[in-house]
Amino acid sequence: MVAPLSPGRTFEPMTALQIGAHVGQADPVSEAKARDADLVQFFLGDPQDWKAPVVPELGDTAGLDLYVHAPYIVNVASGNNKIRIPSRKILGQHAEAAAGIGAKGLIVHGGHVSKGDDLAMGIDNWVKTFERMTNPLPILIENTAGGDNALARRFDALARLWDAVGSYDDVGFCLDTCHAHAGGEDLLDIVDRVKAITGRIDLVHCNDSRDAFDSGADRHANVGSGQIDPELLVAVVAAAGAPVVCETPGGAEGQSADIAYLREHLRT
């Protein structure tokens, strides 16, 4: 049975959730088929580079939902002009490119400010980003695992951020289970707590964690091979009721097993 997330609360079995994986960008459609995936997430370039996005030849995407992950280096919260300004530029470029291929959303990390800087500055920088950007598709801000100065690791900071940006058009939320666990946020009641802040969960990154609770380490593991109870991962997915991406290791074999596990246990 799917484990309850809080005492006395249970969830109906779910069978219709779309589940897929993060794959390489060279041929994401073929990679999705190799995993029997309903959806696929990929980068449009080097995640550690400032270069403009490059759209791969996708072929037939019928029946397959697409999601694009923005480069990891994007940090529009930064007080450093040499980081913040190119972050805004490349975020806009990736949003346009992702919309151009019909992606359902562009996922971007919440970012951080430097040690000694007030989180309010980072939040204001996010506001300025959305004031200057017309979102051509949903921009899904993702919670992160590490950093004492992060805007989306601790949920008290996330609440402050959401108060400022949650009302902008096409701003949504992506919940990463590994990031939450490693970031020190208990998964037991996490869906309720996220929705109390954001009112929504648009996508779930269902990842086990190689490291301990509140470690701050962003290292994903396959379902059942890390530090998180796999029944709890299933319960989070069931409660969220949003499309699911497995950003787990092991290539097609490892991710196919994770997808199959979720499908099987969501039907139990």
Q: Tokens 């980072």 appear where?
A: 122
Per-residue pLDDT of the chain (268 residues; tens, 9 = 90+): 333 333 333 334 444 799 999 999 999 999 999 999 999 999 999 999 999 999 999 999 999 999 999 999 999 999 999 999 999 999 999 999 999 999 999 999 999 999 999 999 999 999 999 999 999 999 999 999 999 999 999 999 999 999 999 999 999 999 999 999 999 999 999 999 999 999 999 999 999 999 999 999 999 999 999 999 999 999 999 999 999 999 999 999 999 999 999 999 998 5
State residue 268's pLDDT score: 59
* CA–CA distance, 204 with 36 (Å, rounded to integer): 18
State residue 4's pLDDT score: 37
Q: Under CATH, to which class is 19-266 assigned? A: alpha beta
State residue 12's pLDDT score: 41
Domain ranges in the chain?
A: 19-266
State residue 108's pLDDT score: 98
Q: What are phi and psi of 111, to 5 degrees?
A: 80, -175
Residue 217 tokens read as 């380490």
Nearest to 64 by CA among 97, 23, 94: 23
| Residue 53 DSSP label | P
State residue 267's pLDDT score: 83
Residue 185 tokens read as 């946020």
State residue 145's pLDDT score: 98
| Residue 112 DSSP label | B
